[in-house]
Structure 1
Amino acid sequence: MKKLSAVQQKQQAAVMAAVTSLEQQALTELAGLVQCWFSLEYEAFPGSLLVRLQFSDDAALEQAQPQLLAWQKKFSGLMLKKGVVLKEMRKHLVMTTLGPDD
């Protein structure tokens, strides 16, 4: 892997802090949540950022789905606190049953 530049390291640290905070909240409030994980392409940041809330099964996912917009707003707020503006918050957070290796 290519070594990250100082700017990319700052971007990664901001995203990691926001996702970790979101994950801690979500683990206490959403039944069946396994983990939060993200992917991004540094050259297209923040547009390429995608955070996933991973659930253990489809039933847990269906139960949490109505709360998706609220969690998207929470994540957008966390990123704003880190100085990153997400223009379309709905594109950056999804709920899924797939893990990072799937």
Structure 2
Amino acid sequence: MRRPRPIILRTSTPTGRRQFHMFGAFDEFLRELIVEGTLEGLASARARGRVGGRPRALDADGVELARALYEMNTKTGSVNTPSSRSGTDSVSAAQPSTGTYVDRS
């Protein structure tokens, strides 16, 4: 497959500088058109009742529970770290806390 020839743009000449500025102006114009179209599309979707973005990980009850657990943990001063656990059932710090870890020792 034949590759396209690269555009050689000599900015040391008046013609090259003009061409450079024209390319920049065209690119800026296209970017503004893309942004404008994106914003119009988002506004149109919102008007139809569509809401974008990532779904919430927790509902209101989950958030309330997490806050209560956090408050309880900060009031008691206990921190669940590998060094504060007993040696027989501790999980190494390198193991991710997914809740599905099985100790195979």
Please give the range of the TM-score, normalised by the shorter of the 2 chains: under 0.3
TM-score (norm 1): 0.24
Q: Which of the pair is proportionally richer in strand?
A: 1
Flag the structure with larger Rg. Answer: 2
- Which protein, 1 or 2, shows the higher relative CO under an 8 Å CA cutoff with sep ≥ 6? 1
TM-score (norm 2): 0.23
